[in-house]
Amino acid sequence: MKRIPQDTILRLSSYLMALFNISGEMHEISSYRLAKILGINPNQLRKDLSYFGKFGRRGVGYKVEDLIYSLKKILGLDKIWNVALCGLGNLGRALCSYKGFSEQGFLIKVIFENDPKKIGRKFNNIEVLDYKHIEGKIQKYNIQIAVLAVPVGQAQELAEKIYNSGIRFILNFVPLNINLPSDCLIRNVYMSSELTCLSYFLARR
């Protein structure tokens, strides 16, 4: 199979999102209509899908339920993934309570902290453990993904601990470019950068 751009994967995810949102109202949809909802080019939508197979009927379009099913499978959302949340600050607590994650099969199984006041308690019925115990607990809970929501100063060191415990998939909310070997996939969510992007255009409006 040809190498698939990471942007394609992100778009597939947005197609799925849009399909969820219309699934109550529509049974079938054409690439043209779906692309319009998403504000993109229908050719791109079809091209993205074509990397993975044929999902529509010529002259008709796509069955919404079928395409949802196919996309979930392509994206690995037909499985359950176990997640470790690192950092139980404001953002960590919000992420922990966020329904969107569990609905998609991402389950937060354990929380890591270094604040003695938080360690040993539970949050949302999830154990809050000391950073020190990461290694063993990653195995115990069969964690595949780590979510980083700690202060900037702690992030790099913690990321290395996580890497050494065997984790290779990280969702990073810390405004810092984390340095790990290239076999580790890191997706960065830089919220301030998004605002900054708005700021740039605001200043030139």
* Residues at the interface with a copy of itself (CB under 8 A): 6, 9-10, 12-14, 16-18, 21, 37-39, 74-77, 79, 81, 90-91, 93-95, 97-98, 100-101, 104-106, 144-145, 152, 168-171, 175-177, 179, 185, 187, 189-205
Helix (H, G, I), strand (E, B) or coil at 1: coil
Please give the radius of gyration of the chain, using alpha carbons only, rounded to the nearest integer.
20
Q: Among residues 128 and 149, whose Cβ is nearest to a copy of itself?
A: 149
Among 1, 24, 25, 54, binds DNA (CB under 7 A): 54
Closer residue to DNA, CB minimum distance, 43 or 97: 43
Quote the CA–CA distance of 27 and 70 in Å, as a whole number: 15
Residue listed under structure tokens 């890191």: 186
Looking at the DSSP assignment, which residues form a beta bridge with residue 63?
28
The distance of closest approach from Cβ of residue 22 to DNA in the complex, given in angstroms and rounded to an integer, is 14
Of 124 and 193, which has the nearer Cβ to DNA? 193
- At position 93, the amino acid (one-letter code) is R
Nearer to a copy of itself, 60 or 98 (CB): 98
Residue 161 contact among DNA, a copy of itself, none, beta carbon within 5 to 8 Å by kind: none
Question: Are 186 and 170 within 8 A, CB to CB?
Answer: yes
**93-101: which pairs have CB atoms within 8 A and are 24 or more residues apart?**
93/123, 95/147, 95/149, 95/173, 96/123, 96/124, 96/126, 97/124
Residues that bind DNA (CB under 7 A): 3, 5, 7-8, 30-32, 40-44, 46-47, 49-50, 54-62
